[in-house]
Amino acid sequence: MRVATASEMREIDNIAIDEYGIPGTVLMENAGVAVIRRLESIWESLAERKFCVLAGKGNNGGDGYVIARHLANQGAKVKVFLLGEKAGISGDARINLDIIDKMGLDIIEIVSERDWDKVKVASAFSDCLVDALLGTGFRGEVSGDMAHIIDIMNAAGKLVIAVDIPSGVEADTGRICGKAVQAAYTVTFGLPKPGLFLYPGAECAGEITVADIGIPTAVVSRQNIKQNIIMAGMVQAILPRRSPAAHKGTSGRTLVIAGSRDLSGAAAMAAEGALRAGAGLVTLSAPASLQNLLAMKLTEVMTKPLAETETGGICREAVGEMLQLASGSDVVAIGPGLGRHEETASAVRETITAAQCPLVIDADALYALAGYTNLLNECAALPVLTPHPGEMARLTKLDVEAVNADRVGVARQAAGEWGCIIVLKGARTVVAFPDGEIYINTTGNAGMATGGTGDVLTGVIAGLIAQGMSSHDAAVAGVYVHGLAGDVAAQGGMVGMTAMDLLKAVPAALYGITGC
Ligand SMILES: NC(=O)C1=CN([C@@H]2O[C@H](COP(=O)(O)OP(=O)(O)OC[C@H]3O[C@@H](n4cnc5c(N)ncnc54)[C@H](O)[C@@H]3O)[C@@H](O)[C@H]2O)[C@H](O)CC1
Ligand SMILES: [K+]
Q: What is the pLDDT of residues 401-456, one digit of tens each?
A: 999 999 999 999 999 999 999 999 999 999 999 999 999 999 999 999 999 999 99
- What's the pLDDT at 243? 82
- What's the pLDDT at 80? 98
Task: State how far the Cα of 505 lies from the Cα of 358, in Å rounded to an integer.
Answer: 26
> Rounded to the nearest whole angstrom, what is the distance from the C-alpha of residue 233 to the centroid of ligand 2?
30
Chain centroid, CA 43 distance in Å: 31
SS3 state of residue 124 = helix
Task: State how far the Cα of 385 lies from the Cα of 433, in Å rounded to an integer.
Answer: 11
Task: State how far the Cα of 431 lies from the Cα of 408, in Å rounded to an integer.
Answer: 8
Per-chain mean pLDDT for the chain: 96
Quick: pLDDT tens for 323-357: 999 999 999 999 999 999 999 999 999 999 999 99
- Which ligand ends up closest to the CA of 163? 2
Q: What residues have CB less than 8 Å from 411, skipping those under 6 apart?
A: 392, 422, 424, 430, 431, 432, 438
Task: State how far the Cα of 255 lies from the Cα of 253, in Å rounded to an integer.
Answer: 7
- What's the pLDDT at 42? 97
Quick: pLDDT tens for 133-164: 999 999 999 999 999 999 999 999 999 999 99
Residues near ligand 1 (Cβ within 6 A): 9, 13, 27-28, 31, 56-63, 134-142, 146, 163-164, 189-190, 213
> Rounded to the nearest whole angstrom, what is the distance from the C-alpha of residue 207 to the centroid of ligand 2?
14
Amino acid identity of residue 345, one-letter, is: A
DSSP code of 176?
Answer: B
Q: What residues have CB less than 8 Å from 318, skipping those under 6 apart?
A: 287, 306, 307, 308, 347
User: Structure pTM?
Assistant: 0.94
- Does 216 sit behind a cis peptide bond, omega within 30 degrees of 0 on the bond before it? no
Quick: pLDDT tens for 173-194: 999 999 999 999 999 999 999 9
Give the ligand 1 atom nearest the CA of 9: 3
- Which ligand ends up closest to the CA of 59? 1
Closest-CA residue, ligand 1 atom 24, reads: 138
DSSP 216-262: -HHHHHHS---EEE--HHHHHHHS----TT--GGGG-EEEEE---TT
- What's the pLDDT at 44? 87
Q: What residues have CB less than 8 Å from 130, skipping those under 6 apart?
A: 35, 51, 52, 53, 54, 64, 67, 68, 160, 161, 163
* pLDDT confidence band for 249 (50 / 70 / 90): confident
Task: State how far the Cα of 187 lies from the Cα of 220, in Å rounded to an integer.
Answer: 18
The pLDDT of residue 248 is above 80? no
- What's the pLDDT at 331? 98
Q: If we measure between CA atoms, which residue out of 169, 188, 170, 172 comes closest to residue 180?
A: 169
Q: Which residue has the higher pLDDT, 316 or 248?
A: 316
- What's the pLDDT at 242? 84
Average pLDDT of the segment spanning 15-22: 97
> Rounded to the nearest whole angstrom, what is the distance from the C-alpha of residue 59 to the centroid of ligand 1?
5
- Which ligand ends up closest to the CA of 178? 1
Q: How many residues does the chain have?
A: 516
Give the ligand 1 atom nearest the CA of 92: 43
CA angle 92, 120, 99 (to 5 degrees): 25
Quick: pLDDT tens for 68-94: 999 999 999 999 999 999 999 999 999
Quick: pLDDT tens for 117-138: 999 999 999 999 999 999 999 9
> Rounded to the nearest whole angstrom, what is the distance from the C-alpha of residue 168 to the centroid of ligand 1?
11
* pLDDT confidence band for 14 (50 / 70 / 90): very high
- What's the pLDDT at 246? 78
Quick: pLDDT tens for 467-482: 999 999 999 999 999 9
Q: How far apart are the first and last CA of the chain?
A: 25
* Longest CA–CA separation in the chain, Å: 84
